[in-house]
Amino acid sequence: MKKFVKFLAALAVVGLVVIGLIIFLPVSRTAPQTNVAGDYTTTNGHGEYAMRMGDCMACHTADGGKPFAGGRPIESPFGTIWSTNITPDPEHGIGNYSLDDFRASLYDGIEPDGTRLYPAMPYENYRKLSEEDIRAMYDYFMHDVEPVNEAPPKTDLGFPFNQRWGIRVWNWLALSDAGHEDLYDDTVLNRGAYLVDSLGHCAACHSPRSTIFAQAGKNAEDDRYLAGGVIAGWPAPSLHGPQSAPAKWSHDDLAAYLWTGRNSHSAVAGEMTQVVGDSLQYATDEDMNAIVTYLRHINGRGEDKTTLDASSSNEPTETEKLLASADPSMPLGARLYLDNCNACHFVNGKGAPEVFPSLDGNALVVADTAGGLLDVMLHGARMPSTEKRPARLAMPGFGDRLSDEEAAELATFVRQGWSNDANAVSAEDVAAARSKSSGTHH
Amino acid sequence: MSEENFKLSRRRFLQAGAVGTMLSAGYSASAIAQSDTPHLSDYQPEYFTAAEWDFIVAATDRLIPADGEGPGALDAHVPIFIDRQLVGSFGQAADWYMEGPHDPNAPAALGYQSPLTPAEAYRAGIAELNTWCKENHGAVFAELEKETKDAVLTSLEKGDIELADTKGANLFDLLLQNTKEGYFADPMYGGNHEMAAWNHIGFPGARASFREWVGIEKPYPLGPVDISGKRG
């Protein structure tokens, strides 16, 4: 017994020492990854463009709030994380940040006082930024952004997630080397990979998470890379694999989707609406070509630019025949489709290009996680306004028209109609989706 | 197409629609429209007094009687629709130009000419007509025989009974118009109870589109759906 107590005491001491080391071991910040001449100056507009491609705005601006003043709630599995003020205000913003401080927040997720940022800030991806982009963005935030002297709400997660020193251990395990390595013998593919992996931080949502919630798969050689994730109950579809949109859509369709939030197959909803509206619509022709070429290349579609669409046959499906019959004995799900959806999405489930997204083969409709589909059905959705396609085309919410049981029948019907083959949805799933306030459309 | 042919084919169309509706009612009776509006006899009018309510019930019952082809105005809760409209923006003429001059002899194209709101016109008109009925038939309208009620309404429509207190508003026109509206409007406004009128004429309701049926020479088989999503 005495031995056991001694053993416990020893264990406690070792534990304290380890924790002490984790907390007090001197913080090291990652150095610049490329040598940039001391008199380097950024070209006009570079910083703002890098900010756009990095989509700083989406998280660091609240609905109706001042640009970059923070205060947007970001749901995480561990609680709500509030985005920070990144205007050059010295008190509440980043006005006192040196270039090294700024780089450390992007590369290492560390504030100047040593406070560790939650990985909701995608420094897993931003640590691949080029020094040129970092300098340009630093320049932009310091000189072109209006300082806002406002403090956003403080993030207050429950124990143990409020012990931020623990993030250090996570960083040791999760982070890969800083800087971006060119893997291809092709400037377009290298540029595309850089934009996707660093500024675009696509993997922050579109990658599955490892057991320690790190982004799984560091590059295209890993099947898990960009193979789809779940964010706040919404599916972020796979961008890697035979069923993914980059594998199926034509070059131009993928570009149209990323630039305008709509194409001949689908339309954006959920978080991606902001990504298109705040970020991707600003991509230059060269950069969009690089992103699309890269995403199609990693799916073996580098050479041809056409559409591969399994559901493009003109033979009417059984689902289409059933709906077109308007047979009063049809199952409730089909009847609800005719009563609520058919006017826009039609009996063939294909909708209309750039206006009504196709439900047949739609990644959101057939996702393993039905939360996104249910959110759109119950609360509606609205496309972003972009310079190329200004109209904020919208779908109304049908939450008032459908009971939980009816919405479950209807969701199951569209998930299994036409060529779709996804699992059923329960009334409990619908109730959960209904009670969640939808923060994704604004 | 002669008028007679039209009527015949229309009736056939209605009958076919009714069959389709009955079929469609078969498969999920539990989810089919269960009205949450009170029964007509339990309804507490928000605008009408008890005497006015009696008149509205009696008059709409003669305009669309229950012994005709389809449901009557009372089956469809038309009086509830009218009562709710009169406490709403229509009854208060909330978005009408109501300043003078009011010229009862102005051409119809110049619009509503009474200084009274529709709610006020109903109130004044019902009181005056009930007085007329008492003087000429010994009882208020609601207590008259069916044939006498029809005669009074016919006289009112033709202008043989002239109401002065409505100050230019035409009670019969208002009543007939609002009765039709209450019969066919979406059930959310209190009338068209359980989509009875839509079922009767085979109107599919707020389904928005059935373009795959364009050109198909058969009645559309499914029963109606209302704005709230209920199936009739």
Q: Is residue B38 part of a domain?
A: no
Interface contact B24-A328, CB threshold 8 A: yes
Q: Give the pLDDT confidence of A260-298 residue by residue, as tens digits.
A: 999 999 999 999 999 999 999 999 999 999 999 999 999
Residue of A nearest to B227 (CA): A401
Using a CB-CB distance cutoff of 8 angstroms, which residues of chain B are in contact with residue A405? 31
Structure tokens at A144: 């072109």
Dihedral angle over CA of A7, A11, A17, A22, nearest 10: 170
The predicted complex's ipTM stands at 0.74
Residue of A nearest to B213 (CA): A324
Q: Identify the pLDDT of residue B30.
A: 35
Q: For residues A313 and A309, give the distance between their C-alpha atoms in angstroms, rounded to a whole number.
A: 9
Residue for token digits 């982004």?
Answer: A215
Per-residue confidence at A442, pLDDT binned at 50, 70, 90? very low
Q: Is residue B14 part of a domain?
A: no
What domain range is B84 assigned to? 50-98+114-232
Q: Is residue B125 part of a domain?
A: yes
Q: Is residue B128 part of a domain?
A: yes
Distance from B208 to chain A by nearest Cα, in Å?
6
B23 vs A: CB within 8 A = yes
A324 vs B: CB within 8 A = yes
CA-based nearest residue to A108, from A213, A227, A36, A27: A27
Asked if B114 and B167 touch (Cβ cutoff 8 Å), the reply is yes
Model confidence at A412: pLDDT above 90:
yes
DSSP A80: E
Q: For residues A111 and A108, give the distance between their C-alpha atoms in angstroms, rounded to a whole number.
A: 9
Asked if B121 and B174 touch (Cβ cutoff 8 Å), the reply is yes
Q: Is residue B65 part of a domain?
A: yes
Q: Give the pLDDT confidence of A102-146 residue by residue, as tens digits.
A: 999 999 999 999 899 998 999 999 999 999 999 999 999 999 999
Residues A335-340: contacts with CB within 8 Å, 24+ apart? A335/B28, A335/B222, A335/B231, A336/A402, A336/A406, A336/A409, A336/A410, A336/A413, A337/A410, A337/A413, A337/A414, A337/A417, A338/B207, A338/B210, A338/B222, A339/B207, A339/B225, A339/B229, A339/B231, A340/A398, A340/A401, A340/A402, A340/A410, A340/B229
> Hey, which residues does A229 pair with through a beta bridge?
A236
pLDDT averaged over chain A? Answer: 91
Q: Identify the pLDDT of residue B12.
A: 41
> Hey, which residues does A209 pair with through a beta bridge?
A215
Structure tokens at B193: 């109870």
For A363, the enclosing helix (H) or strand (E) is helix A363-366
Question: Per the structure, how many domains does chain B have?
Answer: 1
Q: For residues A54 and A177, give the distance between their C-alpha atoms in angstroms, rounded to a whole number.
A: 19
Q: For residues A73 and A79, give the distance between their C-alpha atoms in angstroms, rounded to a whole number.
A: 10
Distance from B229 to chain A by nearest Cα, in Å?
5
Q: Give the pLDDT confidence of A300-320 residue by residue, as tens digits.
A: 987 777 777 655 567 899 999
Which among B225, B226, B228 is the top mutation candidate for probing chain A, defined by the most A β-carbons within 10 Å of its own β-carbon?
B225
Using a CB-CB distance cutoff of 8 angstroms, which residues of chain A are in contact with residue B222? 326, 328, 335, 338
Q: Identify the pLDDT of residue B4.
A: 39
Per-position b or e across B51-82, b if 16+ CB within 10 A of its CB: ebbbbbbbbbbbbbeeeeebbbbbbbbbbbbb
Using a CB-CB distance cutoff of 8 angstroms, which residues of chain A are in contact with residue B28? 332, 335
Residue of A nearest to B25 (CA): A328
Q: A35 Cβ partners below 8 Å, 6+ apart? A: A131
pLDDT: which is higher, A168 or B145? B145
Amino acid identity of residue A88, one-letter, is: P
B31 vs A: CB within 8 A = yes
Q: Is residue B171 part of a domain?
A: yes
Amino acid identity of residue A97, one-letter, is: Y
Q: A280 Cβ partners below 8 Å, 6+ apart? A: A258, A259, A288
Q: Is residue B148 part of a domain?
A: yes
A323 vs B: CB within 8 A = yes
Which among A325, A327, A335 is the top mutation candidate for probing chain B, defined by the most B β-carbons within 10 Å of its own β-carbon?
A335
CB pairs under 8 A between A and B: 56
Structure tokens at A309: 């669409």
Q: Identify the pLDDT of residue A42.
A: 80
Model confidence at A23: pLDDT above 80:
no
For A365, the enclosing helix (H) or strand (E) is helix A363-366
Q: Identify the pLDDT of residue B8.
A: 39
Which among A322, A327, A335, A339 is the top mutation candidate for probing chain B, defined by the most B β-carbons within 10 Å of its own β-carbon?
A339
B220 vs A: CB within 8 A = yes
Q: Identify the pLDDT of residue A310.
A: 54
In this prediction the pTM is 0.84
Q: For residues B39 and B103, give the distance between their C-alpha atoms in angstroms, rounded to a whole number.
A: 41
Comparing CB atoms, the residue among A327, A342, A406 nearest residue B209 is A342
Residue of B nearest to A407 (CA): B229
Q: Give the pLDDT confidence of A232-246 residue by residue, as tens digits.
A: 889 999 999 998 999
A401 vs B: CB within 8 A = yes
Q: Is residue B34 part of a domain?
A: no
